[in-house]
Amino acid sequence: MKRNVLPGLPLSLGVTLFYVGLIVVLPLAALAFKAASLGPSDYWAIISSPRAVASYRVTVLCALGATVFNLVFGLALAWVLTRYRFPGWRFVDAMVDLPFALPTAVAGISLTALFASNGWFGSVLADFGIKVAYTPLGIMVAMAFTSLPFIVRTVQPVLEDLDPALEEAAQSLGGSDWTIFRKVILPLLTPAILAGLSLSFARSLGEFGAIIFIAGNQPMSTEITALLVFIRLEEYDYQAAAAIASVLLITAFVMLAVTNILQARALRYTVRS
């Protein structure tokens, strides 16, 4: 057997597997088990109830919206933070992590205060007839806020490692700035962008604390799926809670699988012959 330089593989492997099993797999299995204890027809009836479907719709659409917003804004932020050094750079760079560090309830309350019709932003937007708090738009704002760091922090290191000579080479070959961005920089960032997008979307699907303050939580219009799970739980309807939660779980899994496939495709050039 080939000896490894670092000792203790069996021990560390054992600890790792035990940990993953106990902390990750077991709760998920319990969830699946609970949901499976319903009959197929009951399960289907719960997850396809109009109120549940409405909650999927608002959750997924808002998460998509927030992710697209973060794609554009996060990419721009990552670009500025890597390419330029300006007074206050360090401060802005640190601020990016704030949504990670801030308790989501605090974020939710601040956003609600800002966007309420008498808040700083809300009162201005109200003049234009735009209502954010207690509408799906508010949900989107909360999701975008809490998931912004994912895109910035996945793209930033890749952008920093990009060899400036690649851009210079493309320039010397006659490429315009836009062509260089589209054909050279963007394809090299794609794997990182995909990773950031999937994390951002997954986080938005599952976000709870920041959203419930700003959402208004009206069934059928501004009630997110995570909240519906919570309500069922409060009613001691564990099976229904597990059933609806399983939908979120499956969505997250499918999405993760899809992004992994896309990432592998985007990275096929790194495979050696």
Partner 1 sequence: MKIRLDRVVKTFNTFRAVKDVSLDIESGELVALLGPSGSGKTTILRMVAGLEYADGGHIYFGEQDATDIPVRDRGVGFVFQHYALFPHMTVAENIAFGMKVSKVKREKAEIASRVEDLLRLVRLEGLGGRFPAQISGGQRQRVALARALAVDPKVLLLDEPFGALDANVRRDLRRWLREIHDELGITTLFVTHDQEEALDLADRVVILNEGQIVQQGTPEQVCRDPKSAFVTRFLGDANRLSAEVRGGIAYAGGASIAAGDLADGAAELYARPGDLSWSQEGPGIAASITRVLDRPGGRRVITITTDGDHLEFDVEPELSVRAGQQGYVSLRRAQVFAV
Does 165 bind partner 1 (CB under 8 A)? Our answer is yes
Least distance in Å: CB of 191 to partner 1? Answer: 10
Q: Give the whole-angstrom CA distance, residue 15 versus residue 231.
A: 36
**Cβ distance 49 to 247 under 8 Å?**
no
Helix (H) or strand (E) holding 60: helix 50-83
How many residues touch partner 1 under the rule CB under 8 A: the total is 22
Stretch that binds partner 1, among 82-90, 130-138, 153-161, 264-272 (CB under 8 A): 264-272
| 170 vs 202, beta carbon nearer partner 1 | 170
φ/ψ of residue 119, rounded to 5 = -80, 175
Least distance in Å: CB of 82 to partner 1? Answer: 18
Q: Which of 258, 238, 245, 214 is nearest to 55 (CA)?
A: 245
Stretch that binds partner 1, among 54-62, 127-135, 212-220, 263-271 (CB under 8 A): 263-271
| 124 vs 169, beta carbon nearer partner 1 | 169
Does 272 bind partner 1 (CB under 8 A)? Our answer is yes
Does 168 bind partner 1 (CB under 8 A)? Our answer is yes
Among 113, 175, 230, 239, binds partner 1 (CB under 8 A): 175
Calculate ∠ Cα 80-83-84, nearest 5°.
75
Q: Give the whole-angstrom CA distance, residue 125 versus residue 134.
A: 14
Among 184, 249, 252, 255, binds partner 1 (CB under 8 A): 184
Q: Please return the burial class of 216, using the count of CB atoms within 10 Å of its CB with bins 0-12, 13-18 and 19+.
A: middle
Least distance in Å: CB of 80 to partner 1? Answer: 23
Among 3, 173, 234, 236, binds partner 1 (CB under 8 A): 173
Stretch that binds partner 1, among 135-143, 159-167, 219-227, 251-259 (CB under 8 A): 159-167
Percent helix, percent strand, percent coil in the chain, to nearest 5? 80, 0, 20
Q: Which of 93, 87, 122 is nearest to 214 (CA)?
A: 122
Among 63, 141, 152, 170, binds partner 1 (CB under 8 A): 170
Give the binding site for partner 1 (CB under 8 A). Answer: 163, 165-166, 168-176, 179, 183-184, 187-188, 269-273
